[in-house]
Structure 1
């Protein structure tokens, strides 16, 4: 059962977290392009699509810690320091995505799709720079979690 849970945990992590990190990383640059020319339907559509990818895979990504807890429980590793650190970092990544990245992306998408007559001033470059910073933090958190999962203290792989 442990191997099955581990396989699910790793597969969901790859399939869900990978697309979120890539789409979230591309979003600020695409948003700058769309905000510079809100009349460009391709640029605006690209921003919306990247946001959809982030939202969709964020929900799918919620399964990663679920399978992770199942795997850790079956391995008897729930009290391990490396696992607790991974859980804390995963929670911080979830807060960054759900509380900082997705709402800012949604605000930019909403601003771009508002009718020109009803549109507030479009977000400026500072909004996309800040979004890029939060996205970088999110990506670093996941990178550290991945490293902890591969090179965990007390690993029996001998690596």
Structure 2
């Protein structure tokens, strides 16, 4: 992924969204300039907060971020700053599994704590059905793309044999 230069808070938010998409949150979107309710980047399965400031990030900023997460949500919280984190902020982030990153003016990201080094990939369905190999002529349940094979016992013989059903990814 090609990071983008960061010279404004808007670029910092857009850069964070690009990194989140790179990490697997394909729908990560930043909306610089609009009301953010404490969340600058939104994705299915993750929320991001971006700070473009010279001051060190403290525990209160992380507490506000946790409070901005919608009720009942288990979205991964990811916090980005161009400055440093106070030790109390890092300890709080560890306790709440908030991934902390520090970005450079060149747009590169550096993980700060353990949750940032062990990213949780978002839960997602494959973009298309798994590739299936056709075994035509085998006589043991040939299958092709678009079908799903499952096994059941034949009532008459007691042996297992494949049955075919339509794939949920095809019409």
TM bin (shorter chain): under 0.3
Greater share of helix residues, 1 or 2? 1
Flag the structure with more relative contact order, 1 or 2, with Cα contacts below 8 A and sequence separation at least 6: 1
Greater share of strand residues, 1 or 2? 2
What TM-score results when the alignment is normalised by the length of structure 1?
0.24
What TM-score results when the alignment is normalised by the length of structure 2?
0.23
